Amino acid sequence: MKIYTRKGDDGTTGLLYGGRVGKDSPATTACGDVDEAQAALGLARATAERGSELDELVVGLQRDLWVLMAEVSTGPDRRDRLVAGRTLVTADMVERLEPLIDDLTTRFDPPTEFVLPGQTPTAAALDLARTVVRRAERSAVAAAAAGSHVVPYLNRLSDLLWTMARWQEGRAMPARPDPQE
The number of beta carbons lying within 10 Å of the beta carbon of residue 6 is 7
DSSP state of 176: P
Q: 133, 37 in Cβ contact below 8 A?
A: yes
Instruction: Please choose, from the candidates 32, 148, 140, the residue with its C-alpha nearest in 3D space to the C-alpha of residue 79.
Output: 148
Above pLDDT 90, what percent of the chain?
89
> Which pLDDT score, from 0 to 100, does residue 173 have?
58
pTM above 0.85, yes or no: yes
Give the DSSP per-residue string, 115-126: --S-SSHHHHHH
CATH class of the domain comprising 13-170: mainly alpha
List, for residues 55-75, the tens digit of each pLDDT value: 999 999 999 999 999 999 999
List, for residues 79-117, the tens digit of each pLDDT value: 999 999 999 999 999 999 999 999 999 999 999 899 999
Look at residue 141 and give its three-state secondary structure.
helix
